[in-house]
Chain A
Amino acid sequence: MRLRLFVGALVLLGVALPLAVPWLKTPFLLALSNGLAVLGVAVLIRAGQVSFGNAMFACLAGYGATYAARFWQLDALLLIVVGTALAALAGALVGLFMVRYRGIFFGMLNLAFSMMLFAILGKFGAYTGGTDGLRFERPAFGFVHLDRDGFESALLAVALLLALAAGWCVQRYYRSVSGQALAAIKTNETRLEYLGISAKRIFWGGYILAATLCGLGGTLFALTQGLVTPEMGYWVRSGELVFVAILGGSSHAVGAFLGAFVFEFMKLYAAALLTGMWQLVLGLILIVMVFVAPSGIYGLLSRLLGQRPRSVLKAR
């Protein structure tokens, strides 16, 4: 119950703050899109797997949306659908291959796939704009052409709704049979198979969900920026997603967004103060988190709110 109040307060803050302080809109949008992608990674962490390449789905969705915007001048809302669908499709295809692997193989194969995408995007500059990326005009929003500020407000509203919906869906998914089975892949896959459930099929579902969420995040990100670059799919980005998932805590969907917001503002301030040492800071925080608070910010908060954190990441 307290949690619900807490989420409500967060959403209210998400609406009120950008209205009061307009420059906060962009960081909020970025944090929300990032949070969606992180939620995807958190779903995989639920199954005990880390992917060091999930940013590729965000990148792919971003490029898909960009092409759609450039060639068909689609509406922004449609672009979100196109990008996300593309990521879901790619996730389903790549997932067919990935579900056979666990642990380090899974993580590194994802990394290998994302490096391939990054290399292709960089190499075929004629179609992809190379490392400079592609720009696109600000599309119409719900068939209305808005100025930059209005567009951002509308996008923020949509992003907030999508984030709420995604968070709710993921929580529902965690409590469903497939969601429980997904968590069982982490605890004991062999026993799961003994129950007559195909671990691979369950994991495939989880993988597609993760790719879809990353795609949704990526499309929103691209719409916010009006620009896509191969950097979006670089392994450092994937690493950041994993980092934020751990930072926020992966036992509840809220964790992903908490982490994303903390991360976004950390980046805003720390990057200015500590230019060039950004990764170093991230790495050190990650190490400290692993040793001190493996259940993330959400774990710490729920302890404060008097709930027992159900850590997905406790030691064996």
Chain B
Amino acid sequence: MDGISYAALLFLVAVGLTLIFGVMRIINIAHGSLYAWGGYFAATLGLAIAKFGLSPGLALPALFVAALAVGVLLGSLLEVGLLRRILDKDPILQLLVTFAAFMVLEDLQRLIWGVQPYFVSEVVSQLGTLLVAGVTYTRYQLLVLPLCAIAVFLGLRWFLGRTPIGRQITAVTHDREVATAMGVNAARVSLLTIVIGASLGALGGALASPTTSLVPGIGAEMMVLSFAVVATAGLGQIGGAAIAALLIGISRAFAIYLMPELEVLVPYLIMVLVLLVRPQGMFSVAEARRI
């Protein structure tokens, strides 16, 4: 059960990463710090709500507001300031630029929020607990997190498959040049996708913030984990990301239960095993070789 709530968080972050990759063909390493920023900002909002004596019912919506704020602000900043300008550069340089952005954001985060751990968990205690098969779970972890992930998954499927803008995103993901030739404004689509993807990353952080304490470095950890999910699934695969997140989340929960020392290693081991058998990930589609 712990595994499922963890998988839900992983999925949210990973799907944002994979969406952005789809449109830009860039793995945005700064995605990890979006997760961290989402978490910190949500914690700050939570503290503010508690401080000004506002209705505690606001705490849950505040998480979403925080995620959206971070996603829109940082996402568009990243796109307009950096990603858009490096599309035609060497892949190494693209990687380096997002890595540099990550370093900058990580330090800014440390300057703003300091290095002390933050722990704001009013939301969790408010929602109470549930007893399942003799084990007590918080309602937040058992219901809110998985429901959010499922909602995002279904919402994305509907958005990308059924709405005009979503279809434009799919078209750009498939082939940027052809889509542009067909009259899709690829630049606008990219901006939109990145804002959505960044918001999802920040949402992961915001939702995670009540369940863990926020310390510097969570961005890096989550970045690698969500990349493990995305790579296991195959780059750009949303459905695959859901399955891979579940796989990794649940096996990690088992590992915590069985061999706590190895907990950190499990996601990487799974990724390495999958990539040994299928170097492009489980659900990847064959791509034409360019000669």
Question: Which of A116, A278, A316 contacts B88, CB < 8 Å?
Answer: A316
* Chain B neighbourhood of A88, CB < 8 A: none
Q: How far is the CA of A278 from the CA of B106 in the complex (A)?
A: 11
Q: How far is the CA of A242 from the CA of B90 in the complex (A)?
A: 15
* Chain B neighbourhood of A45, CB < 8 A: 92
* Chain B neighbourhood of A313, CB < 8 A: 90, 92-93
Q: Does A287 contact B (CB under 8 A)?
A: yes
Which residues of B, 90-109, contact A by the 8 Å Cβ criterion?
A: 90-93, 95-97, 99-104, 106-108
Give chain B nearest CB distance to A52 CB in angstroms. 7
- The number of residues on chain A lying at the interface, defined by a beta carbon within 8 Å of a beta carbon of chain B, is 48
Q: Does A294 contact B (CB under 8 A)?
A: yes
Give chain A nearest CB distance to B96 CB in angstroms. 6
Report yes or no: B224 in contact with A111, Cβ–Cβ below 8 A.
yes
Q: How far is the CA of A278 from the CA of B108 in the complex (A)?
A: 10
Supply 9 further A-B pairs (C-beta < 8 A) apart from A109-B271, A190-B290, A316-B88. Answer: A104-B91, A112-B268, A112-B272, A239-B99, A243-B100, A279-B104, A282-B100, A286-B99, A287-B82
* Chain B neighbourhood of A130, CB < 8 A: none
Report yes or no: B97 in contact with A290, Cβ–Cβ below 8 A.
yes
Which residues of A, 274-316, contact B by the 8 Å Cβ criterion?
A: 276-280, 282-284, 286-287, 290-291, 294, 313-316
Q: Does B111 contact A (CB under 8 A)?
A: yes
Among A58-66, A95-103, A208-216, the stretch that binds chain B is A95-103
Report yes or no: A314 in contact with B90, Cβ–Cβ below 8 A.
yes
Shortest Cβ-Cβ A-B pairs, 5 listed = A283-B103, A283-B104, A280-B107, A286-B100, A283-B100
Q: Does A203 contact B (CB under 8 A)?
A: no
- The number of residues on chain B lying at the interface, defined by a beta carbon within 8 Å of a beta carbon of chain A, is 43
Give chain B nearest CB distance to A94 CB in angstroms. 10
Q: Does B291 contact A (CB under 8 A)?
A: yes
* Chain B neighbourhood of A235, CB < 8 A: 220, 224
Q: How far is the CA of A239 from the CA of B268 in the complex (A)?
A: 19
Residues in chain B within 8 A of chain A (CB atoms): 27, 82, 85-86, 88-93, 95-97, 99-104, 106-108, 110-111, 220-221, 224, 227-228, 231, 235, 261, 264-265, 268, 271-272, 275-276, 279, 289-291
Known A112-B271, A116-B268, A279-B106; judge A107-B224 contact (CB<8 A).
no
Report yes or no: B103 in contact with A239, Cβ–Cβ below 8 A.
yes
Give chain A nearest CB distance to B290 CB in angstroms. 8
* Chain A neighbourhood of B290, CB < 8 A: 190
Give chain B nearest CB distance to A157 CB in angstroms. 35
Known A111-B224, A123-B264; judge A280-B104 contact (CB<8 A).
yes
* Chain B neighbourhood of A108, CB < 8 A: 27, 224, 227, 231
Of the listed residues A100, A107, A188, the one surrounded by the most CB atoms of chain B closer than 10 A to its CB is: A107
Give chain A nearest CB distance to B233 CB in angstroms. 13
Report yes or no: B110 in contact with A276, Cβ–Cβ below 8 A.
yes
* Chain A neighbourhood of B107, CB < 8 A: 276-280, 283
* Chain A neighbourhood of B271, CB < 8 A: 109, 112
Q: How far is the CA of A91 from the CA of B84 in the complex (A)?
A: 36
Report yes or no: B104 in contact with A105, Cβ–Cβ below 8 A.
no
Which residues of A, 83-141, contact B by the 8 Å Cβ criterion?
A: 97, 100-101, 103-105, 107-109, 111-113, 115-116, 119-120, 123-124
Question: Which of A100, A104, A119, A120 contacts B279, CB < 8 Å?
Answer: A100
Report yes or no: B104 in contact with A107, Cβ–Cβ below 8 A.
no
Report yes or no: B101 in contact with A290, Cβ–Cβ below 8 A.
no
Q: Does A191 contact B (CB under 8 A)?
A: yes
Report yes or no: B90 in contact with A280, Cβ–Cβ below 8 A.
no
Report yes or no: A123 in contact with B261, Cβ–Cβ below 8 A.
yes
